[in-house]
C-alpha cells in the first residue's frame, strides 16, 4: 500500500487476526485491544462483565457522544490455522475481513483524528465487543446498548467486508436446539423401538415442508445434527440446531409458532422431543431518509459509490430493535467470509477508511 497510515492499520489488523478468538473465547484478543487502547492513552479504558472493551476519546465540547463498535469474535475454532497469505492486492486469512480489519479501524480513527489535529465536538466511544457470531447471540452489543441506551447520537457498527453498502435493517433471527430422546437399545434385539435419530429425521422433513418464502424475506435452515452411539445402536438421543430468519417480526413469530407446534406434536409414547431457544436476534429498521442513513449515503456518493441499503443480522440489530439510530458499514471488499479462504482486497480499503473518518467527523455536525 502506498499510504503509510493504511499499511500501519493493515499490520495491526493482521496482529489481531493472529490471535484466536472464537465466540466465548475472546479473552486473549480482549487483552490485546485493551492494552492497545491504554497505549494510545485513551480515557476510561475498561472491560465489562461480558468481556467488551471500552475506551473514550474525549471531545472538545459537550455534544452527545457517538458509539463506534467492531466485534472481536470469529467463527473459527481455536485450532484453526490462521496463516496469512498475500497475493497482489489480496490478503487471505481466516477472520481478517470478519472482523479484524474493523477492530484495527477503532485505532485507525484515533490515529487519523490526531494526525489531522481534529477535535470532535463530543466524546467518541470506541468498543471492541464480544459475542456477535453464532451462538453469541449479540450478547456484547446487548451489553453496550444496556450501558449507553439512548444517550449516544448514534451507534455505528463496523463489518470489514461490506464497503459500499449501509445496513439499516436488522434481520430477525430465532434459533432452536431441538432434542429427541428415547429409551434406545440394540439395533437387532430391540428392533422396532423408537430411535431418537429416526424421530428427528421425520421432524426435519416436517420442518422443511413449512411454507417459507424468500420473497417474504424469510428463511429456515437446519445447520447441525448430532446424536447416536454406534451404527448398531438405536439412538437414545439426538439433537439439531435450527435457524429461522425474517426481516418481518410477525413472519418470524409465525415460523417460530409453527416450529414449536411441530415439536409439541412429535411427543408420544416412548419419545420425548423438546425445543430450546438458543438465539434470539430481534429485527429492527431505520428509514432510508433518516439523517444518519442520509449522512452515510452522502459520504459514499462523494466517493463515487452508489450505496445499497441492506438487510442483515449484525450488531446493529440491537439498537435498531429499540428504536435507536444505528447503521452498520463496511471498510473494504473481499470474499470467503467464514471460511479458511477468507480474504480482503486492499484496493478499496483507503476509500473505506476515508468513508469512516468523514462519517464520524460529520456525525457531530449533522446528527442531533
Residue 3 has pLDDT above 90, yes or no: no
Ordered alpha helix ranges (H), the chain: 4-17, 27-39, 101-115, 139-148, 196-208, 249-265, 291-302, 317-321, 349-366
Task: Tell me the three state secondary structure of residue 286.
Answer: coil
* pLDDT at residue 222 greater than cutoff 80: yes
The whole-angstrom separation of Cα 196 and Cα 204 is 12
Q: What is the pLDDT of residues 307-325, one digit of tens each?
A: 999 999 999 999 999 999 9
| 329/292 Cα distance (integer angstroms) | 12
pLDDT in tens, 11-28: 999 999 999 999 999 999
2 falls in which pLDDT band (50, 70, 90)? low
Helix, strand, coil percent content, the chain, rounded in steps of 5: 35, 30, 35
CA distance 33 to 140: 15
pLDDT at 77 over 90: yes
The confidence band for 184, taking pLDDT boundaries of 50, 70 and 90, is very high
- How many C-beta neighbours within 10 Å does residue 198 have? 15
Determine the average pLDDT of the residues in 232-250: 96
State how far the Cα of 39 lies from the Cα of 351, in Å rounded to an integer. Answer: 27
CA gap 307, 305 in Å, rounded: 6
pLDDT in tens, 129-159: 999 999 999 999 999 999 999 999 999 999 9
pTM of the predicted model as reported, rounded to 2 decimal places: 0.93
- Whether 65 has a pLDDT exceeding 90, the answer reads yes
Higher-confidence residue of 368 and 355: namely: 355
Mean pLDDT score of the chain? 96
pLDDT (average), residues 97-111: 98
What would the mean pLDDT of 327-347 be, rounded to a whole number?
Answer: 97
φ/ψ of residue 264, rounded to 5: -60, -40
Q: 352: helix, coil or strand?
A: helix
Residue 328 predicted with pLDDT over 60: yes
pLDDT in tens, 42-61: 999 999 999 999 999 999 98
Sorted by where each starts, the structural domains of the chain and their CATH numbers stand as 4-170+283-366 (3.40.630.10), 172-281 (3.30.70.360)
- Residue 1: is its pLDDT beyond 60? no
Amino acid at each position: 500500500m502506498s499510504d503509510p497510515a493504511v499499511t500501519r492499520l493493515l499490520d495491526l489488523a493482521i496482529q489481531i487476526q493472529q490471535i484466536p478468538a472464537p465466540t466465548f473465547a475472546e479473552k486473549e484478543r480482549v487483552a490485546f485491544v485493551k492494552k492497545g487502547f491504554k497505549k494510545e492513552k485513551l480515557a476510561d479504558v475498561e472491560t465489562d462483565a461480558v468481556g467488551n472493551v471500552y475506551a473514550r476519546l474525549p471531545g472538545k465540547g459537550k455534544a452527545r457522544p457517538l458509539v463506534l463498535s467492531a466485534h472481536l469474535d470469529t467463527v473459527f475454532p481455536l485450532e484453526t490455522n490462521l496463516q496469512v497469505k498475500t497475493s497482489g492486492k489480496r490478503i487471505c486469512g481466516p477472520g481478517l475481513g470478519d472482523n479484524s480489519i474493523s477492530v484495527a479501524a477503532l485505532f485507525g480513527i484515533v490515529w487519523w483524528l490526531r494526525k489531522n489535529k481534529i477535535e470532535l465536538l463530543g466524546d467518541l466511544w470506541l468498543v471492541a465487543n464480544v459475542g456477535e457470531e453464532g451462538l453469541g447471540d449479540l450478547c456484547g452489543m446487548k451489553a453496550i446498548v444496556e450501558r449507553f441506551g439512548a444517550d449516544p447520537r448514534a451507534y455505528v457498527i463496523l463489518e470489514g467486508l461490506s464497503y459500499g453498502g449501509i445496513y439499516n435493517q436488522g434481520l430477525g433471527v430465532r434459533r432452536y436446539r431441538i432434542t429427541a430422546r428415547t429409551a434406545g437399545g440394540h439395533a437387532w434385539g430391540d428392533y422396532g423401538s423408537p430411535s431418537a435419530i429416526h424421530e428427528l429425521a421425520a421432524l426435519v422433513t416436517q420442518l422443511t415442508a413449512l411454507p417459507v418464502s424468500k420473497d417474504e424475506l424469510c428463511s429456515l435452515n437446519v445447520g447441525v445434527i448430532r446424536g447416536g452411539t454406534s451404527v448398531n445402536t438405536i439412538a437414545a438421543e439426538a439433537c439439531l440446531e435450527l435457524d429461522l430468519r425474517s426481516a418481518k417480526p410477525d413472519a418470524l413469530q409465525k415460523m417460530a409458532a409453527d416450529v414449536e407446534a411441530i415439536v409439541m406434536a412429535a411427543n408420544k409414547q416412548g419419545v420425548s422431543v423438546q425445543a430450546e431457544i438458543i438465539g434470539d436476534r430481534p429485527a429492527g429498521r431505520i428509514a432510508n431518509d433518516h439523517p444518519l442513513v442520509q449522512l452515510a449515503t452522502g459520504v459514499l456518493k462523494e466517493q463515487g459509490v452508489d450505496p445499497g441499503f441492506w438487510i442483515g443480522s449484525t450488531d446493529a440489530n440491537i439498537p435498531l430493535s429499540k428504536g435507536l439510530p444505528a447503521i452498520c458499514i463496511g471498510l473494504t471488499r473481499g470474499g470467503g467470509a467464514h471460511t479458511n479462504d477468507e480474504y480482503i482486497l486492499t484496493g478499496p480499503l483507503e476509500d473505506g477508511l476515508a468513508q469512516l473518518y468523514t462519517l464520524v467527523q460529520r456525525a457531530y455536525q449533522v446528527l442531533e
